[in-house]
Amino acid sequence: MPDTPAFLDSERPDVPDLVVPRGITPFFLPRRPVRGRLVRLGPLADALLTRHDNHPAVTKLVGEALALVAALASALKFRGSFSLQGKGDGPVGMLLADCTDTGALRGYARVDAEKLAALLDTTPEPTAAQLLGTGFFALTVDRGPDVDRYQGIVTITGDTLADMALHYFETSEQLRCALHIACIHTEAGWRAGALILEKVAGDGGVDPELDAAMQEESWHTATVLAATLTDAELLDDALPADRLIWRLFHGEGVDAGRPRALAYGCRCSRQRLSGILERFDADDLDHMVKDGAIVMTCEFCNFDFRFDRADVRGTAAGGGQ
């Protein structure tokens, strides 16, 4: 196989070259212990979610996970990827979404069709907890093969993904947050977004005249104002992010930071997968053949890569790679 860089690989799947320039808008309340981010995927949500023919309840869950992982990743300074994983014994056995430091997003859900049908018979609009079942919720920072991964894991607790994330931060990070996540199918297609508030630890940037009680009151006021946000406002393409932030928090004074982009971020390629196949020996490769070819499917973009068996040498034919 030719050693072609992934970005020059002409046989990558036909996926959207889509960027939302103002996908993440950071903001803060001056001299108050509050910072936050408004995340709006816009048309990117529809492009990502319609790669799979999932039931709307599952699609909604994946959309919420994408908005949440973008909101969480954008708070960190790192190079690599930040992922959210939910794994349980429910109809959605695996939920995975990740976001790179450059804002490249991808996600998918692994679904047990029989379990989902049984749940929907009794619960037409299941919660995230009902879809995932009993299991764990994990957040992982992967900075590449030369750096140890950081991972935090908690049991799935709460009905919604927001509940699960808040439980994680309360128990693992001792970080106080408020979250609003939404994913809805609109006339323009699927839309997803999130609003996250974080209480700033310590005295950095906080008015020195605010004692602990006053800081707590400022945080309480900010969360009350955030709670007035509706899903319709959060997902309204026609309502600019900075205007929405001002609408919510202008009474407290609010400053918006520089927006960050989000993009369609599946990183699969034929060249990368062929390199994986070359590590198998000839017998293993022969067992992978179906109808004369080896098929590898990217779970994220739902694309099948087909390799003729004769074109894959493997370790035995390749002299023990």
Q: What is the tens place of the pLDDT at every residue in 144-201?
A: 777 778 889 999 999 999 999 999 999 887 789 999 999 999 999 999 999 999 998 7
Helix pair 56-73, 161-168: axis angle to 10 deg: 30
**8: in domain:** no
Regarding whether 294 and 227 lie in a shared domain, the answer is no
Nearest CA among 229, 230, 267, 275 for reference residue 248? 229
Q: How far is CA 52 from CA 48, 108, 139, 313, in A?
A: 8, 8, 23, 32
Regarding whether 297 and 211 lie in a shared domain, the answer is no
pLDDT of residue 181: 98
Strand partners, 196: 37, 179
Helix (H) or strand (E) holding 283: helix 282-288
**14: in domain:** no
Domain boundary among 221, 243, 264: 264
Regarding whether 152 and 72 lie in a shared domain, the answer is yes
Burial of 180 (0-12, 13-18, 19+ CB in 10 A): buried
Q: Which amino acid is at 77?
A: K
Q: How far is CA 47 from CA 18, 19, 187, 189, 301, in A?
A: 8, 11, 14, 9, 10
C-alpha 7/C-alpha 212 separation (Å) is 52
Helix (H) or strand (E) holding 274: helix 270-277
Regarding whether 260 and 165 lie in a shared domain, the answer is yes
Domain of residue 60 covers 20-264
Regarding whether 162 and 309 lie in a shared domain, the answer is no
Residue 292, Ramachandran bin (φ over 0: left; ψ between -120 and 50: alpha; else beta)? left
Regarding whether 164 and 113 lie in a shared domain, the answer is yes
Regarding whether 73 and 134 lie in a shared domain, the answer is yes
C-alpha 46/C-alpha 210 separation (Å) is 44
Higher pLDDT, 238 or 278: 238
Regarding whether 276 and 224 lie in a shared domain, the answer is no
Predicted confidence (pLDDT) per residue in 107-136, tens digit = 999 999 999 999 999 999 999 999 999 999
Regarding whether 70 and 199 lie in a shared domain, the answer is yes
Regarding whether 39 and 152 lie in a shared domain, the answer is yes
Regarding whether 94 and 37 lie in a shared domain, the answer is yes
Nearest CA among 82, 317, 35 for reference residue 200? 35
**281: in domain:** yes
Predicted confidence (pLDDT) per residue in 24-82, tens digit = 999 999 888 999 999 999 999 999 999 999 999 999 999 999 999 999 999 888 788 99
- pTM, entire model: 0.85
Per the structure, how many domains does the chain have?
2
Q: What are the E-state strand segments in the chain?
A: 19-29, 34-40, 81-88, 92-100, 104-111, 135-142, 150-155, 177-186, 189-199, 255-256, 260-264, 293-298, 303-308
